Structure 1
Amino acid sequence: MADEKQTTDNRYRDQIGEENRLGDTDYIEETAAEIAAPATIRRDRDNEVQRDEETASGRGIGLAALALSIISLFVWPVLFGAAGIILGFIARRRGAESLGSWAIGIGAVSIIFGIFIRPFF
């Protein structure tokens, strides 16, 4: 029995070298532990429903931002204009790009007009 083990050890000694031996095992095995994450399948209708919900919430915030920006043309331009700009950015991020852009533009014009032009009149 001991002679058979010695024969097996000599067989692998020529292939992998003496310094690569792992104890008294008859074989050297390499394994990998990588596992791919399971693929998620998204359906188009689920994404459309989610986009519609996001656009609806963005539309409400966009209308509020536009209202604040228009009010800022007449009353407290710095306060209401800044609030309209901030809400405009939030509305754009939630999907109401045109309402958000208009709110940002009108709020910026209102602040510039209120700070630089209105004091001279």
Structure 2
Amino acid sequence: MADLDPKDVEKNQFQKEQNDGQIYGVDNFGTKDYREETAAEIAAPAPIRLNQGTNEKNETRAEGGTGIGLAAIALSILSLFVFPVLFGAAGIVLGFIARARGAKTGTWAITIGAISLILGMFILPFF
């Protein structure tokens, strides 16, 4: 075995390193120091629905705001006749609360209260 040519030993060593790299997942360049950065591509995450019964929640939310919305409309209509600044402002505030809770009557209360407030502050003092 001492008769081996150094070139043959070097060639066999290179083939062994190359084969080891292919078998064990090491790079194909013959050295183990070479590192290549790789990254996995992912898609945008899909939205997760935490509450499947959102319709039921919205219905109860609208029911909770309906009473406040009706009270806001009552205050706004009352403000057309008595204390427009006080009742109109209260109707507007309750209208915003009713809208936040999902009642559509809050928008009407805000509108009527704003009209009453404008009439009471700018037009009625001249009569």
Q: 1:39 to 1:116 in 2, by over 3 A?
A: closer
Residue 55 (structure 2) aligns with: 48
Query: How many residues in Structure 1 have an aligned counterpart in Structure 2?
Result: 109
Residues 1-121 of structure 1 mapped to structure 2, 5 A cutoff: 3-4=13-14, 7-8=17-18, 11-12=28-29, 24=33, 28=36, 30-32=38-40, 37=45, 40-41=48-49, 43=52, 46-97=53-104, 99-121=105-127
Letter of the aligned partner of 2:69 in structure 1?
Answer: G
Secondary structure of the residue that 1:12 maps to in structure 2?
A: coil
Name stretches of at least 5 consecutive residues in structure 1 with no aligned partner: 14-20
Structure with the bigger percentage of helix: 1
Cα distance between partner residues in 1 of 2:62 and 2:73: 16
Letter of the aligned partner of 2:40 in structure 1?
Answer: A
- When normalised by structure 2's length, the TM-score is 0.62
- When normalised by structure 1's length, the TM-score is 0.64
1:6 offset after TM fit, Å?
8.2
CA RMSD, 1 decimal:
3.5
Identity, in percent, stands at 48
Q: 1:6 to 1:92 in 2, by over 3 A?
A: same
Q: 1:111 to 1:38 in 2, by over 3 A?
A: closer
Q: 1:5 to 1:33 in 2, by over 3 A?
A: farther
Cα distance between partner residues in 1 of 2:75 and 2:65: 15
Bigger radius of gyration among the two: 2
